[in-house]
Amino acid sequence: MPTTDELKHRIERSIPGARAEVVDLNGGGDHFRATVVAPEFAGLSRIEQHRRVYAVFESDIGGPIHALSLVTRAEA
Amino acid sequence: MSTPEQQISAAINEAIAGNEVLLFMKGTPDAPRCGFSARTVAALEALGTPFAAVDILPDPRIRQELSAISNWPTIPQLFVRGELVGGCDIVTEMYETGELAELLGVEPPAEAPGHAPVAAEPGAPPLTIENKLS
């Protein structure tokens, strides 16, 4: 079962300079919310920013990670 | 002879091209089967904009083909004029900032923005993809 720390570290490892805060929405280890701030999001649309984060997890989304709610922005 | 996957994919593309505002969701606007879908329906209904909806649950291949077309892994997915706008998070955020009303060409909600609506009211009957299979 994925943990909030695991998700946080995967995001921060995969997206240079990213800082992520991850919460488990229902305590069940499958519905998460991540707030991700990364310099490379500058100039990207929301869709593109979210795609970038989803790409970190590939097919885990919809698998072990049932839902990942996202808030993304470029600036700190 | 096209495969069922190709038929579903063609039906999805046809639905996206043929509906100005189209929501792919779990369940129907009247009976959403997932909180994220329900919240997205509520945002659209709060703006009073007509929209078409496709329930992706009847056949797992609908979701599979949709995600291949849209390059977006989760449900719901809102399309406006053929373009993916986003899922529940983006639609909710755009509702709250007034960007969704602007995109849809409607008046922003009367009450102050900042609260996404929660209630789901009856909407248009859902489109069906699964019965387009021959």
Name the residue of chain B whose CA is nearest to A70's CA. Answer: B89
Name the residue of chain B whose CA is nearest to A69's CA. Answer: B89
Q: Does B72 touch chain A (CB under 8 A)?
A: yes
Q: How confident is the model at residue B122 (pLDDT cuts 50, 70, 90)?
A: low
How much is the average pLDDT of B74-99?
96
Mean pLDDT of chain B, nearest integer: 89
> What is the number of CB-based contacts under 8 A between chain A and chain B?
31
Residues A45/A52, Cβ–Cβ less than 8 Å: no
What is the value of pTM for the model shown? 0.85
Query: Which tens digit of pLDDT belongs to each residue from B44-59?
Result: 999 999 999 999 999 9
Gap from A53 CA to chain B (nearest CA, Å) = 11
Q: Does B87 touch chain A (CB under 8 A)?
A: yes
More confident residue, A6 or A26: A6
Does position B130 have pLDDT exceeding 60, yes or no? Answer: yes
Chain B residues touching residue A67 (CB < 8 angstroms)? 36, 74
Chain B residues touching residue A47 (CB < 8 angstroms)? 72, 84-86, 90
How much is the average pLDDT of B84-100?
95
The answer regarding whether domain B4-108+115-132 maps to CATH 3.40.30.10 reads: yes
Mean pLDDT of chain A, nearest integer: 93
Is B72 close to A54, i.e. CB distance below 8 A?
yes
Beta-bridge partner residues of B83: B80
Per-domain residue ranges of chain A: 4-73
> Which homologous superfamily does the CATH classification assign to the domain defined by A4-73?
BolA-like (3.30.300.90)
Q: Does A56 touch chain B (CB under 8 A)?
A: no
3-state SS record for chain B: CCCHHHHHHHHHHHHHHHCCEEEEECECCCCECCHHHHHHHHHHHHCCCCCEEEECCCCHHHHHHHHHHHCCCCCCEEEECCEEEECHHHHHHHHHHCHHHHHHCCCCCCCCCCCCCCCCCCCCCCECCHHHCC
Is B90 close to A47, i.e. CB distance below 8 A?
yes
Q: Which residue has the tokens 């955020």?
A: B93
Strand bridging mode B52-55 / B21-25:
parallel
Is B89 close to A69, i.e. CB distance below 8 A?
yes
